[in-house]
Amino acid sequence: MSTILAVHASPRGDRSHSRRLAEVFLSAWQAANPQSHLTRREVGRALIPPVNEAFVAAAFYPEPDARPLSMQADLAFRDELVGELLGHDLLVISTPMHNFSVPSGLKAWIDQIVRLGLTFNHHWTMAWPNTSHWCRAKRL
């Protein structure tokens, strides 16, 4: 059984073109794969917390295994989002373009799920970061 995570990034609801387009795809996918399981993650009409000082302090705490409980709480939602992403085989992102970039909700989601050692890893060469994507197996 394949599992799909659909991330909707438009701040608009029924009027959203990107949302409607993605839903057409998702319906077709489910019709062709009746055993598939779909999860929707709303990032356009729900508040995804932006990176703040507490988040940075907790995320980059030098001893991750010994994080104080308060810091673990600061990262709880991030852990939920990362677990959700890693727990699905396919990722569908529907998004408009906002001012030559992605909407702020989608950027906030990306900031939450990019996690060194879990969703990506990198090692530095002299000239350029050599990035190996740990989420590479995911289909987008």
Ligand X SMILES: Cc1cc2nc3c(=O)[nH]c(=O)nc-3n(C[C@H](O)[C@H](O)[C@H](O)COP(=O)(O)O)c2cc1C
Using CB under 6 A as the criterion, which residues of the chain lie in contact with ligand X when the complex forms?
Answer: 10, 12, 16-19, 96-100
Helix (H, G, I), strand (E, B) or coil at 74: helix
Which residue lies nearer to ligand X by CB, 22 or 113?
22
* H helical segments located in the chain: 17-32, 53-59, 69-74, 76-86, 104-113
Which residue lies nearer to ligand X by CB, 70 or 101?
101
| Minimum CB–partner distance for residue 133 and ligand X (Å) | 26
* Closest chain position to ligand X (CB): 96
H or E segment and range at residue 39: strand 37-42
H or E segment and range at residue 121: strand 121-124
| Minimum CB–partner distance for residue 66 and ligand X (Å) | 43
Q: Which residues lie across from 38 on neighbouring strands?
A: 4
Q: Are 64 and 45 in contact (CB under 8 A)?
A: no
Which residue lies nearer to ligand X by CB, 10 or 112?
10
Q: How far apart are CA 82 and CA 119, in angstroms?
A: 8
| Minimum CB–partner distance for residue 138 and ligand X (Å) | 23
| Minimum CB–partner distance for residue 103 and ligand X (Å) | 8
Which residue lies nearer to ligand X by CB, 18 or 112?
18
